[in-house]
Structure 1
């Protein structure tokens, strides 16, 4: 048996073998990967595993070789790849039926859905995140949650928060911590805080890697290429994690979102939340705010930035965001 790296994007035959092994293992061939390895018995691919950012995924072992300890070899190789890339904290997607195997390899379960088990290893971990956000909990009963990327913060975002603030004692706004946006995390977080400082019942929080991240919902960041089946499974996992593990810590009873006519993946996310939350956690979907007969969106603002249409941008964003955009222009 030999272990080697697989170049899925370069070798069609290897990709076909890899996809077939995953399908026979009841896994979706998710080719959103950075690094893939395989173990071969002769010319037959008998085990595989992949890494995407700091996520271990698409790990499968041929059923005829389950007693060969190949899983440990695959995981150890992927861990070494992650450590070489500078990661000390990483996540794992696997089937719920085999999560116990990964627990024996040191992984801790965060949440399980019908299709996926989401696990982690390393520090800081999910317990640390819950401790972090619990320190900002307010002693109120009627509480709402909003999750936004705010890339950048617009009058549409402000409208959503304002409406939630009118209807609730406390609104917890989670700003996506992922560094995969035009505006970096620190800037986006600051713009949200500056934009809502007049709303005294709003608390702004980070998501770290536990809400709409490359770990919980990687398809969100590849909206044009995301496959619906994969996006739906990831969106469901993200929604279950919020409902069962995060919302209870802050006594959140309602989640506010905007309608999503523009992005199919975000629309899948809204649908997943509607199905998952059920009666336990109320989902309120508000119509998007409109300016000059067009929906206000961060993507529209970014497009106008590319065009240099700053006067039009000024009508779509709070003053603090506009100042940041003009600073961004100077850079």
Structure 2
């Protein structure tokens, strides 16, 4: 007999009892309760929580059904409910972050695979999608044996410029990917503009947005938590991000090298560098360059942001290329 059930929202950040039930269910499924979520729903039989699902922005995640109820189609009901909530917010391009065994269910709901590993499955529904992004990249392909740099550029410093210059000297072409995610002090629009202005005099460089497919809330959400990020979760996500880059993105641009800077400050960024080294496995050369130091002081965007708060013009002129300094000066004068 089909059990009587109720689907209702769970306020995991406000209701300690519900959070405990949710956390127990999540952990029994081998998932982390540290995942960021905006909205969570549960399937209840009486007061027993037997299934749950969440979304963060446009990403479905933390989808779990108790083993004894996995024949009841509750996963589909959760997904339909979450998609309905997102559609009411005008969101029609959706990602899911789940286990490989759920592929057939999501395929039947219109999702298509982005990447699959032994433990994680990424799929998406709607457009523009990965295929659209890869098609755009293919049109930008300039040469064989190209190099890549991925940066947040929050803001674009002389350290970022140094990395690009060094890569450009030894590469036929360099693709500078700028994080599209708006989770930094400076908007994507501002960061992209500063990067383009900063590299405009280097002929063999093309600046590209990452969209959802490199260091984003989909592929590597803990990147944006920095010091607050659980490192074990960061390692898992970093490997998935690196694998997506190696298998899907690099081939479209004939990328054989990726340049990164040494990371003396952020443990999460260092975890990412280690994950790339492991995943690339000599198929893509990971080239780690020493961080640029000026008068013995390592250049970092963190120091620049602090200097902006303190209105330390001397440090800003020391650490920022003229293009970024002028851009920020005009921006803050405009505000």
Quickly name the TM-score band, shorter chain normalised: over 0.9
1:67 aligns with 2:71: yes
Q: What's the counterpart of residue 168 of structure 1?
A: 171
Q: What's the counterpart of residue 219 of structure 2?
A: 216
Equivalent residue pairs, number: 330
Equivalent residue runs for 1:1-331 within 5 Å: 1-138=5-142, 140-330=143-333, 331=335
3-state SS of 1:253 partner: strand
3-state SS of 2:227 partner: coil
1:126-175 Cα deviation digits (max 9, x unpaired): 0000011111110x222101100111110000000111111110011111
The structural deviation recorded for 1:234 is 1.1
Assess if the C-alpha contact under 8 Å between 2:93 and 2:124 holds in 1: yes
The structural deviation recorded for 1:10 is 1.5
The structural deviation recorded for 1:36 is 0.4
Q: TM-score, normalised by structure 2?
A: 0.96
RMSD: 1.2
The structural deviation recorded for 1:105 is 1.6
3-state SS of 2:80 partner: helix
Assess if the C-alpha contact under 8 Å between 2:76 and 2:105 holds in 1: no
3-state SS of 2:228 partner: coil
The structural deviation recorded for 1:211 is 0.5
Distance 1:310 1:209 in 2: 35
Q: TM-score, normalised by structure 1?
A: 0.97
- Unaligned runs of at least 5 residues, structure 2: none
The structural deviation recorded for 1:86 is 2.3
The structural deviation recorded for 1:38 is 0.4
Please say which of residues 40-49 and 214-223 is displaced more in the overlay.
214-223
3-state SS of 1:77 partner: helix
